[in-house]
């Protein structure tokens, strides 16, 4: 007499395997509890043998790192390079975080380089990297927005002047939103010309005062 095989769905097989797995785990836990003696410090014979093998190995002390034995020379090297590139400390004070008269993002700066025309634009970002500290200015040339990076301590940079200060301090460290047409300052030539006129007037007044003192 032939019997047809009983086909069970996959869900029943999964439940059967799950029950078998749980029973196997319970048997292992009961066997461990029966072998191990009672108490907080109770360990099995196998664990004792493993601890005995480990105790035979000699553990050497950890070798101290070079940074713990020798000081880091990089800060001293950075200070020496800054003293060589900026002996008066004017550039450091100009972009210092603690100085009150330092340049802030949002101000208009003019950078003068050797063998090139001065570039003026809005100060939108600074990248502090010690000697490689650089600033990003956004200006306009031929009615086209132009952005240029300048190394603060570079020997080719002969002068950095603050043309116009932002009346209210910016809430962000990077004014990348000024690239949008809605917030773009555009050309800053009018601010530069006003700054030059004011500077020329101050110089002429100082010369006149010096001439009067010489005559007297």
Phi and psi at residue 106, in whole multiples of 5°? 105, -20
CA 208 to chain centroid, in Å, comes to 50
Pick from 187, 75, 198: nearest CA to 131: 75
CA distance 106 to 178: 9
* All structural domains of the chain: 76-204 (2.30.30.790)
- DSSP states of 13-43 as a string? HHHHHHHHHHHHHHHHHHHHHHHSPSSTT--
pLDDT the model gives residue 36: 47
Pick from 119, 90, 95, 93: nearest CA to 105: 95
Of all residues in the chain, the percent with pLDDT exceeding 70 is 83
Summarised one tens digit per residue, pLDDT across range 35-65 is: 445 444 456 788 888 888 878 777 788 888 8
Q: Which two tokens stand for residue 58?
A: 């000699």
pLDDT the model gives residue 43: 61
pLDDT the model gives residue 211: 66
């Amino acid at each position: 007499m032939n019997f047809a095989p009983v086909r069970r769905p996959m869900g029943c097989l999964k439940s059967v395997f799950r029950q078998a797995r749980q029973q196997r785990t319970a048997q292992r836990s009961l066997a461990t509890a029966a072998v191990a003696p009672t108490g907080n410090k109770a360990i099995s014979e196998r664990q004792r043998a493993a601890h005995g093998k480990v105790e035979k190995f000699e553990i050497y002390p950890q070798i101290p790192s070079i940074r713990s034995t020798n000081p880091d020379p990089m800060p001293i090297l950075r200070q020496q390079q800054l003293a060589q590139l900026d002996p008066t400390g004017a550039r450091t004070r100009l972009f210092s975080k603690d100085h009150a008269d330092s340049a802030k993002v949002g101000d208009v700066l003019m950078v003068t380089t050797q063998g090139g025309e001065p570039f003026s634009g809005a100060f939108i970002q600074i990248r502090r990297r010690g000697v490689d500290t650089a600033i990003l200015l956004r200006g306009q040339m031929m009615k086209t927005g132009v952005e240029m990076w300048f190394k603060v301590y570079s020997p080719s940079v002969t002068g950095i002047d603050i043309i116009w200060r932002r009346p209210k301090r910016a809430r962000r460290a990077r004014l990348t939103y000024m690239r949008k047409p809605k917030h773009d300052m555009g050309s800053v030539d009018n601010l530069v010309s006003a700054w030059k006129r004011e500077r020329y007037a101050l110089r002429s007044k100082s010369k006149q005062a010096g001439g009067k003192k010489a005559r007297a």
